Structure 1
Amino acid sequence: MSTIIVFGPTGKVGSLVALNVASAGHKTILAMRDPSKPIPVLESDSNSYTRVKADLSDPASVSAAVKETGAKSAFIYVPPGTRDALRDTLEALKDAGIEFVVFLSSYSINGTGQELSSIPQEEIIPYMHASVELNLKAVFGSAYVGLRAGGFATNTLAWVDGVRAGTVKLYMPKFEFDYIAEADIARVGASILTSKDRQAIPPELLVIGPRLVTQEAAVGIIAKTIGKEVKVEELSYEQGVQFAISSGIPPFVAKYLYGKLSTGEGGFTQALISEGSGNIERYTGRKAETYEDWAERNKAVFSG
């Protein structure tokens, strides 16, 4: 069995990638800024993992972690504030012995309808992920997969306080998202990392939830799941941006995201849904999880 290093194992997706890789019998390395940080979903079988100190924004630490553990495959993401689209880090991974990479990318690249190199810098999220994918191609050739995930269901955890209080504040409540489950993203990522036929997997792979659900309807699904009445209060653009900033989203990102909601640009098409949800079933052998499924698994979080 191969040795696989997972960067970001404390995250919602990274922790489940590690869980699935270890469950498949592979030696699993958890690369962390703070190796002492607890990871609840992995604590029940903590002996299956080796922790090392490493930070994707620090190529030297990445190189040391790979050389120390002998890892041959890696799961990575793009940390906030990355300035060189991970170019130095990717070269460090390659030089240290990594042969294959799965990168947690974004469906928003497809939403632009443009070639990777043509996406303008103003398109903050697709540009950032496209830049990393371009660097992956330059450094690793075809030995990588950009896992282009849709809108995370976990984003709705920002509604927890509102749900408990009985009112969720939303800008553009009729806007639709796919609400892909983090478990599905992780299962696909782990399936690719542990595959014996990775050469047959395309370097750009969409993974998207099975259907579109409006924000308002998603609140209703949560309300029904926990058996509580929850109202929706519609916010103006300005109120929405301020609400996002108060939740910890950087101002320039909040303005970008809410601007996209305003124009409807970069949204999901049925073609994207079909392709992305089909890939989940193709690479995991199970249908994509619905938002109802996700809400049921997380109802204790919302009910408090």
Structure 2
Amino acid sequence: MASKDPVLIFGPTGHVGSSTARAAHEHGANIVFAMRDTNKAVPGFSADQERGIERVYADLTKPDTLQEAVTKTGAKRAFMYLVFTASDHMRSSITALKLAGIEFIVFLSSYTVPDDLNSLSKDTNFIALAHGKVETVLKEVYGPAGYVAVRPGGFATNTLRWKDMIKTGGDIKTPYPEALFDWISDEDIGRVAGSVLAKGPEVIQENGGRNWILLFGPHPISQADAIETICKVTGRDAKIMPLDEEGSVEFYTTTSHLPEPLSRQMVGMLKKRAELGKSDGLEGPKYEEAVANIQKYGGKAPTGFKQWVEKNKDEFEA
């Protein structure tokens, strides 16, 4: 049953945040947009659709604003995401939410996080480590029944990093074009997160006592095939140019604004994925369950990559 108390949606202007807000709203949740810029438009909500939805200033890097937002709205649940720059794995922010009255959190995590959080170490890749450390804090502050971590695979929206190259119709330079990804839709992630947020802790029991939900897109394809799909849908011609290792590192420092050491980790992960193909987690019972979870918790069949590109064609032409 949807919570009658207000629920905070952090990052409602983002792809996943806005989709989460729409899904929770459709499930009857009393959503509140928690925003750093309360004047910014929220995708998917017209002025009429937003009527009656409160906006409140809040910044996940500033715990005092979180306490004020919860106190002002009386919210009991929240959807939140990782802030990579947080120095304490978001402990101060999560603690502030707890002390202010938030009872249940849905956290946008990553498929890279291991089921056993105790297995995290300094050798764990930075994406898994950053998200896993926040999950660890959530477990310590809220207990295992006080949060659910939604762990999606590779976002379809990550392909937007190629849009400028696709628009110009020139060479599309990218690391390891043969590397496979599942390209999960932001709307699929948001539908699951919003549904879980509306239903609350009962979802954990539905999930066999696990407080994480793994999600993957339905059809893994290579980066090269993803680029070709985008070009076909948008009517563009482009030639794919694989980058060497140093060019790949520069690609991630430029497009993802990652420090060089983390960019090198990302390139290493891509190289491994290119070598392993589907065996890098994109096949087998665990993968099939993660795809099925989209229907199970989100209520709709998963979105294929071509379908996602067709729906978001304008984003590649903006």
Q: How high is the TM-score relative to the length of structure 1?
A: 0.93
Per the TM alignment, residue 225 of structure 1 is displaced from its structure 2 partner at its CA by 1.4
- What amino acid maps onto 2:191 in structure 1? R
**Cα contact 2:204–2:211 (8 A) shared by 1:** no
> Are 1:219 and 2:233 matched, yes or no?
no
Alignment match of 1:247 (pick from 255, 268, 271): 255
After superposition, the C-alpha distances for 1:102-147 in whole angstroms (9 at most, x for unaligned) are 000000114xxx7312222342110111111111111111121010
| Number of the residue aligned with 1:65 | 69
| Number of the residue aligned with 1:171 | 175
| Number of the residue aligned with 2:243 | 235
Q: d(CA) in 2 for partners of 1:293 and 1:11?
A: 20
- What amino acid maps onto 2:87 in structure 1? R
**Cα contact 2:57–2:69 (8 A) shared by 1:** yes
| Number of the residue aligned with 2:203 | 198
Per the TM alignment, residue 303 of structure 1 is displaced from its structure 2 partner at its CA by 4.1
| Number of the residue aligned with 1:118 | 119
Query: 1:92-171 to 2 correspondence within 5 Å?
Result: 92-110=96-114, 115-122=116-123, 123-141=125-143, 142-166=145-169, 167-171=171-175
Percent of residue pairs identical: 36
Q: d(CA) in 2 for partners of 1:260 and 1:248?
A: 15
Q: d(CA) in 2 for partners of 1:209 and 1:198?
A: 21
Give 3-state SS (helix, strand or coil) of 1:206's partner. strand
| Number of the residue aligned with 2:187 | 183
**Cα contact 1:62–1:89 (8 A) shared by 2:** yes
Q: d(CA) in 2 for partners of 1:126 and 1:214?
A: 22
Per the TM alignment, residue 199 of structure 1 is displaced from its structure 2 partner at its CA by 4.2
| Number of the residue aligned with 1:279 | 293
Q: d(CA) in 2 for partners of 1:248 and 1:282?
A: 32
Q: d(CA) in 1 for partners of 2:61 and 2:122?
A: 20
> Are 1:262 and 2:271 matched, yes or no?
yes
| Number of the residue aligned with 2:58 | 54
**Cα contact 2:172–2:238 (8 A) shared by 1:** yes
**Cα contact 2:107–2:150 (8 A) shared by 1:** yes
Per the TM alignment, residue 13 of structure 1 is displaced from its structure 2 partner at its CA by 0.5
Alignment match of 2:306 (pick from 283, 292, 299): 292
Q: Identify which range, 257-266 or 152-161, moves more after superposition.
A: 257-266
After superposition, the C-alpha distances for 1:189-237 in whole angstroms (9 at most, x for unaligned) are 0111111633414311101111211000001111221233222111111
Q: d(CA) in 1 for partners of 2:191 and 2:239?
A: 34
Q: d(CA) in 2 for partners of 1:135 and 1:82?
A: 13
Q: d(CA) in 1 for partners of 2:235 and 2:137?
A: 48
**Cα contact 2:107–2:147 (8 A) shared by 1:** yes
Give 3-state SS (helix, strand or coil) of 2:33's partner. strand
Q: d(CA) in 1 for partners of 2:254 and 2:131?
A: 25
CA separation of 1:24 and 1:130: change in aligned 2, threshold 3 A:
same
Which residues of structure 2 form unaligned runs of 5+?
A: none
Between the two proteins, the alignment pairs up a number of residues equal to 301
After superposition, the C-alpha distances for 1:35-91 in whole angstroms (9 at most, x for unaligned) are 122223223422242111111111111111111101111001111201111112111
Which residues of structure 1 form unaligned runs of 5+?
A: none
CA root-mean-square deviation: 1.8
Q: d(CA) in 1 for partners of 2:293 and 2:256?
A: 32
**Cα contact 1:22–1:48 (8 A) shared by 2:** no
**Cα contact 1:209–1:273 (8 A) shared by 2:** no
**Cα contact 2:71–2:100 (8 A) shared by 1:** yes
